[in-house]
Amino acid sequence: MRAVELHDITKRFGTLAANKAVHLTVERGEVHSLLGENGAGKTTLMKILFGLYQADSGSIRVNERPVAIRRPDDAITLGIGMVHQHFMLVPRLTVTENVIAGSEVARHGFLDMATAVEDIAKLAERYRLRVAPRARVENISVGQQQRVEILKALYRKADLLILDEPTAVLTPQETDDLFEIIRRLKGDGKTVIFITHKLRETMAISDRVTVLRDGAVVDTLYTAETGPAELARRMVGRDVLLRVERPPSEIGKPLLEVCDLSVASRYGTAVESVSFAVHAGEILGIAGVEGNGQLELEEAILGLRKTPSGTIKVRSLELGSGPDARRSVGMAHIPSDRLRRGVVPDFSVAWNLILGSQWRRPFSRRGALLRNEIADYARRVVSQYGIRCESIEAPVGSLSGGNQQKLVVARELSRDPDVVIACQPTRGVDVGAIEYIHNQLLAMRAAGKAVLLISAELDEVRALSDRILVMYEGKIVAERKSDAGESELGLLMAGHRAEAG
């Protein structure tokens, strides 16, 4: 029996067609991966199914009956639940309070919290979701928070569960736990739609996979009858090298030195007494689950956050305050959030490519911007780095996420820096853009530059890094070689120092 059928779904945002006459069929009791590049239309399609967006045209059938889903309440009534990539939880409330919000249990006109706690404990036990019903959400791990979101959907009697990029903030062990939960859901007759751009996860958990590209369906395949290389080719329309070739490199002197650095946050100390050095010809990776001080470390190194103690040096020279002091000594920055720190969406491609250097030669003279020089430079960089855009005058907001990220990488690396701070450099981009960005970072390494890679993607850290530091609760808890095992690093990332040895 078919759980869901989407016919000719089209959705536009202005002139952008996010979904183009999409057909999707999901069978009851299967795990169905929705695979595609960033901007391929996966999440938009599922938000239509969940009632957060309305399609411009097309129809939906649930359990082989035509339905109208105008809002999430309609979807929930039909047995559809959705776990969003960014969790919708209230940190100060308990697990139970978050789960029952909007569906409270009443007894004699009063909230029956004891019954709710008991019901949620039974539901958690049934699917082995391992979360304490009375715990405050702010005090539990990211993996446990995700289980709370799943509990919310199951509590509302969901038979079909949509998971949007569910492993983005999980350790390898938490990902394995999630996959076990998905298998239990399937074994109980539930249907799961798994939105992802990760090939390995698709192969590990799904029965079938539908590939989207540029808002349209490319194909639907049985996972057992395909492989990562074929899926990658269908995702991006060309062959993609899925492994990273990291040749030996001659390690030189330290170019970036961080000594006894502490960083404050609104809630106390975010980074505590961190020290490390990155050498010429080296990629030093920092692995860790997000929220363990990586963002604060990034901002401190870039001069965007005050540091109560510690020093930062480039080529043995201690840096002054502010981002300009970093740029002037040859530091480049690929930010963890390109929309907040990397680009100005309303500015053109050309203007974004010179941000930070617009008042320097060759882009200006005597306080006047030289538009011809800027245009020539922009056309050259767009061609050299393969940025796909309508023209150099197009607003950056009109580019896909992958091409926005390529623009940031191109701007930063084309300045021939000595030190590169690359933070979550491939977040939310497709396998083709990942291949490109990885090759650019390796080219920096081969040219004798120092690269600090901060990434929540453990596969990325292991593939690119010469050395790996693990960060947990604001501290460097371990240093490992690049051949360290995934299990060992995952345990360290979760704070299990003793088990990891």
Task: Kindly state whether residues 222 and 76 are assigned to the same domain.
Answer: yes
Kindly report, residue by residue over 389-416, the tens digit of the pLDDT: 888 999 998 887 778 888 999 999 988 9
| Exposure b/e, 329-348, CB count within 10 A at least 16 = b | bbbbbbbbebeebbbeeeeb
Task: Kindly state whether residues 186 and 291 are assigned to the same domain.
Answer: no
Q: Is the pLDDT of residue 458 over 50?
A: yes
Band (pLDDT 50/70/90 cuts) for residue 500 is: very low
pLDDT of the residue at 427: 75
Specify burial of residue 266 (Cβ count, 10 A radius: 0-12, 13-18, 19+).
Answer: exposed
Q: How many Cα atoms within 13 Å fall on the side-chain side of residue 25?
A: 8
Domain boundary among 236, 268, 296: 236
pLDDT of the residue at 441: 94
Contacts 24+ apart (CB under 8 A), 267-273: 269/474, 270/296, 270/297, 270/474, 271/296, 271/297, 271/300, 271/474, 271/475, 272/474, 272/475, 273/309, 273/310, 273/475
Mean local confidence (pLDDT), 97-122: 82
Q: Which two tokens stand for residue 311?
A: 């020093």
Which pairing describes strands 160-164 and 191-196: parallel, antiparallel, or unpaired? Answer: parallel
pLDDT of the residue at 142: 78
What sign has the CA pseudo-torsion 80, 29, 20, 229? Answer: positive
Cβ neighbours for 238, distance < 8 A, ≥ 6 positions apart: 432
Q: Which of 63-67, 182-186, 256-260, 484-488 bottoms out in mean pLDDT, i.e. has the lowest?
A: 484-488
Mean local confidence (pLDDT), 209-218: 94
Band (pLDDT 50/70/90 cuts) for residue 296 is: very high
Task: Kindly state whether residues 230 and 322 are assigned to the same domain.
Answer: no
Task: Kindly state whether residues 221 and 270 are assigned to the same domain.
Answer: no
pLDDT of the residue at 403: 83
Rounded distance, CA 65 to CA 169, Å? 36
Cβ neighbours for 456, distance < 8 A, ≥ 6 positions apart: 168, 169, 287, 288, 289, 290, 294, 424, 427
Beta bridge mates, 340: none
Residue 75 lies in a domain: yes
pLDDT of the residue at 255: 96
Residue 363 lies in a domain: no
Task: Kindly state whether residues 107 and 190 are assigned to the same domain.
Answer: yes
Task: Kindly state whether residues 273 and 184 are assigned to the same domain.
Answer: no
Say which residue, 176 or 242, is predicted with more confidence.
176
Residue 419 lies in a domain: yes
Q: Is the pLDDT of residue 59 over 50?
A: yes
Task: Kindly state whether residues 408 and 470 are assigned to the same domain.
Answer: yes
Q: Is the pLDDT of residue 501 over 60?
A: no
Q: Is the pLDDT of residue 165 over 90?
A: no
Rounded distance, CA 11 to CA 89, Å? 28
Mean local confidence (pLDDT), 246-253: 90
Domain boundary among 207, 236, 265: 236
Residue 389 lies in a domain: no
Mean local confidence (pLDDT), 281-288: 95
Q: What percent of the chain has pLDDT over 90?
A: 53
Q: Which of 169-183, 291-305, 306-320, 408-422 bottoms out in mean pLDDT, i.e. has the lowest?
A: 169-183
Rounded distance, CA 235 to CA 218, Å? 8
First to last CA, the chain: 49
Residue 178 lies in a domain: yes
Q: How many Cα atoms within 13 Å fall on the side-chain side of residue 42?
A: 30
pTM: 0.71
Residue 356 lies in a domain: no
| Per-position DSSP letters for 175-217, written without gaps between them | HHHHHHHHHHHHHTT-EEEEEES-HHHHHHH-SEEEEEETTEE
Mean local confidence (pLDDT), 192-214: 92
Q: Which of 211-215, 406-410, 495-499 bottoms out in mean pLDDT, i.e. has the lowest?
A: 495-499
Mean local confidence (pLDDT), 213-227: 94
pLDDT of the residue at 497: 67
Closest CA to 393 of 452, 437, 349, 447: 349
Q: Is the pLDDT of residue 464 over 70?
A: yes
Residue 7 lies in a domain: yes
Task: Kindly state whether residues 442 and 309 are assigned to the same domain.
Answer: yes
Mean local confidence (pLDDT), 197-225: 93
Helix, coil or strand: residue 378: helix
Q: Is the pLDDT of residue 260 over 90?
A: yes
Domain boundary among 178, 208, 236: 236
Whether the CB-CB separation of 295 and 456 falls below 8 Å is answered with no
pLDDT of the residue at 476: 94
430: containing domain: 254-344+397-500
Whether the CB-CB separation of 418 and 255 falls below 8 Å is answered with yes
Residue 375 lies in a domain: no
pLDDT of the residue at 193: 97
Q: Is the pLDDT of residue 498 over 50?
A: no
pLDDT of the residue at 271: 93
Rounded distance, CA 325 to CA 311, Å? 14
**DSSP symbol at 155:** H
Task: Kindly state whether residues 145 and 294 are assigned to the same domain.
Answer: no
pLDDT of the residue at 254: 96
Rounded distance, CA 382 to CA 426, Å? 19
Task: Kindly state whether residues 412 and 302 are assigned to the same domain.
Answer: yes
Say which residue, 267 or 265, is predicted with more confidence.
265
pLDDT of the residue at 305: 86
Query: Domain holding 421: CATH number?
Result: 3.40.50.300
Q: Which of 31-40, 46-55, 242-251, 411-420 bottoms out in mean pLDDT, i.e. has the lowest?
A: 242-251
Q: What percent of the chain has pLDDT over 70?
A: 96
Band (pLDDT 50/70/90 cuts) for residue 251 is: very high
What sign has the CA pseudo-torsion 299, 423, 408, 84? Answer: negative
Kindly report, residue by residue over 128-149, the tens digit of the pLDDT: 888 999 999 988 877 888 889 9
Task: Kindly state whether residues 290 and 193 are assigned to the same domain.
Answer: no
What is the tally of structural domains in the chain?
2
pLDDT of the residue at 398: 83
pLDDT of the residue at 287: 92
Q: Is the pLDDT of residue 2 over 60?
A: yes
Mean local confidence (pLDDT), 112-122: 89
Band (pLDDT 50/70/90 cuts) for residue 499 is: very low
Task: Kindly state whether residues 123 and 269 are assigned to the same domain.
Answer: no
Per the listing, tokens 């070689």 go with 481
- For residue 33, report the phi and psi dihedrals to the nearest 5 degrees: -85, 135
Say which residue, 281 or 339, is predicted with more confidence.
281
